[in-house]
Amino acid sequence: MSHVLLITSSPRGADSLSTRFATEIAEHIKQRKHGTLTVRDLATSPVPHITPAYIDGRNAAPDSRTAEQAQAVALAQQLIDELKTADVIVLGSGMINFGPSSQLKAWFDHVTWPGVTFSYGSGGPQGLLSGKKVYLVVATGGVFSAGPYASFDFQTGYLLHLLAFIGLGDVELVRVEGTAFGPDAVKAAIANAESAVQTLLGKAA
């Protein structure tokens, strides 16, 4: 039995294609594995941006933290515990101004914790989360996988880097792109994403 963690972050609500396909993947894996599912919707329940209370609190001894610091650190620990508990992580991200949403960035700022999710050694940084499968769904209005705007995609590479940095390097990527070019383009983007998802889920069976 597997435990699946679904993280969505798009502010587009029910219209979000990253949320739609990430949810489809998570639900399918949960059912196939007879597993359990935790959902963290960063759009409807955003994680606060980090503050001095978080930065100072995580560096302080637990018994010396102020109440504000303890609260900030407890939230980060809760988010990290969700990652540690999960066997499969499904992450949905819609591009905002060429990068991930600020909600998703805030989540990464909480879970990228030295000594807890990564460390530095003689060989450089080492991710401390391992043995987990990640499905990353990125949605974009333009086409960024290739062509003249590929260099403008500051979302996909950034997310892949941060995931690998904390040890989550086993990632399957699904792109939903080109939806800003009219109804036909939307249909084509959805069809391509559906095909990619079915192929991935078939491989994972």
Dump pLDDT digits (tens) for 27-57. Answer: 999 999 899 999 999 999 999 999 999 999 9
Asked if residue 203 has pLDDT above 80, the reply is no
The pLDDT score that the predictor gives to residue 204 is: 65
Query: Is 122 a known ligand-binding residue?
Result: no
Query: Is 37 a known ligand-binding residue?
Result: no
DSSP label of 99: B
Q: How many CB atoms are located within 10 Å of the residue 69 CB?
A: 21
Distance between CA atoms of residues 71 and 66, nearest Å:
9
Q: Is the pTM of this model over 0.85?
A: yes
Query: Is 102 a known ligand-binding residue?
Result: no
Residue 67, burial from CB neighbour count under 10 angstroms (0-12, 13-18, 19+): exposed
Per-residue confidence at 13, pLDDT binned at 50, 70, 90?
confident
| Average confidence score pLDDT of the chain | 94
The pLDDT score that the predictor gives to residue 76 is: 96
Expressed as residue numbers, the domain containing 177 is 3-204
Dump pLDDT digits (tens) for 121-173. Answer: 888 899 999 999 999 999 999 999 999 999 999 999 999 999 999 999 999 99
The pLDDT score that the predictor gives to residue 202 is: 82
Dump pLDDT digits (tens) for 88-117. Answer: 999 999 999 999 999 999 999 999 999 999
Total domains present in the chain: 1
Query: Is 18 a known ligand-binding residue?
Result: yes
Residue 151, burial from CB neighbour count under 10 angstroms (0-12, 13-18, 19+): exposed
The pLDDT score that the predictor gives to residue 200 is: 86
Query: What CATH number is associated with residue 133?
Result: 3.40.50.360
Asked if residue 1 has pLDDT above 90, the reply is no
**Sign for the pseudo-dihedral over CA of 120, 121, 123, 127:** negative
